[in-house]
Structure 1
Amino acid sequence: MGLGNLHDHSRQEHAGSTINHPRAYDVLASLAFAGRRREVFTRLAALSGARPGDRVLDVGCGTGYLTRVLAPLIGPAGQVVGVDPAPSMVEHARRRAPANCSYAVGVGQALDLADESFDVVVTSLAVHHMPEGERGAAVREMFRVLRPGGRLLVVEFRRPANRWAAGLLGALAGPAHRHSPRDLLGDLVPRAGFDVEAEGELPPLLFYLRAGRPATSSAP
């Protein structure tokens, strides 16, 4: 299998894509993070602000890697729900699921979840797979399912200077690695109603944006 075959692209350039080879993806991700994947995603879990007893949603959960890192933070009284459009990724995640994690096939643009039902929403390395014209709808859905005062963490790839790492990133992210994460996200998060709290980089590959849903607001 060639690296490019990780991605299932539609006929349209910006129509989005899914990843349908979970084991290959995990192998490439381990290589791309140079053995630091667990360390980096532990930092992301901490940045999410997830606490014991929280309900956490992971939009575009992929193989469930971040959900499994989040699981100990929320404890047995909490729950992590992962949603991904690729059935093969969801099945892979289910086979490795801790007791407080569950998964469903679905898309971020139309979440089959109740309003204001989560304390934290995370989306890691998923926005670039969404159809370009529907990314705003996906962020609005994240706002809708968050409780007032809830927290959002968006994580995307940033292009590394190292050519070897950039090649692996191209296999993982497809065309998205050609764009900066700030260009990719634009003003989607504040336009959906969130208050942006912080943004930054995590070596070697990631950019993150942290935001909150105002405690007294309603969805735009």
Structure 2
Amino acid sequence: MKRTGSHHLGLATYDYEGIVDFYTRVLGWEIAWQDLMTGPDGTVHMKHVFFDTGDGSYVSYMCPTADMPNFPKKWATDINSGLGVMNGAYHFAFWAESVEELEQQQARLREHNHPVTEIIDHGWAKSIYFRAPDGLQLEFCVTTRKLTEDDKLLKHRYQPGNPIYRERPDLVARDAAILGMPADRLIAIFGSRELETQFAHEKQ
């Protein structure tokens, strides 16, 4: 059997209109499917939508109505805070086909005044991070090189990050807020000259 990626991600929101606006207007995705889920008496209990990501997969959201029984009116839609884990532990990354497309996605978000990070280099992939209106952390990511046998080994690895973080504390503060981490941690992971020097020596 051919192994494939996900058909769709299933998420939940209590702000249906806000989610539809974000994915269609800001990200530019099209609605592929919508339906209403009803109870035995015909009362609408749930709104349901699928967004076409453009690569053959979908992102879906369910949104309970006020008539939905035994369902909370509010919950931690960002997932992480509800579980008490660190920000970004649960997040969802979408494909970018090239660095140029990654830059285009970043530009589109900024054109809509939606907070988005600088491009961050992970050493084998590059990413931008942002949040949906419900607080869920999202990402566009492009693979930038072929992975090797060494990449399969579990060990500490240097991430180039983005050198601009060393020079622009205003960008550090902004992107740390988007990522939900302290500014000094962002610098330590993605902007540390000391780490760059350390790993350069280790390779010699």
Q: So what's the TM-score if we normalise by structure 2?
A: 0.26
**Structure with larger RCO (C-alpha < 8 A, sep 6+):** 1
Q: So what's the TM-score if we normalise by structure 1?
A: 0.25
- Determine which structure has more spread, i.e. the larger CA radius of gyration: 2
Higher relative helix content:
1
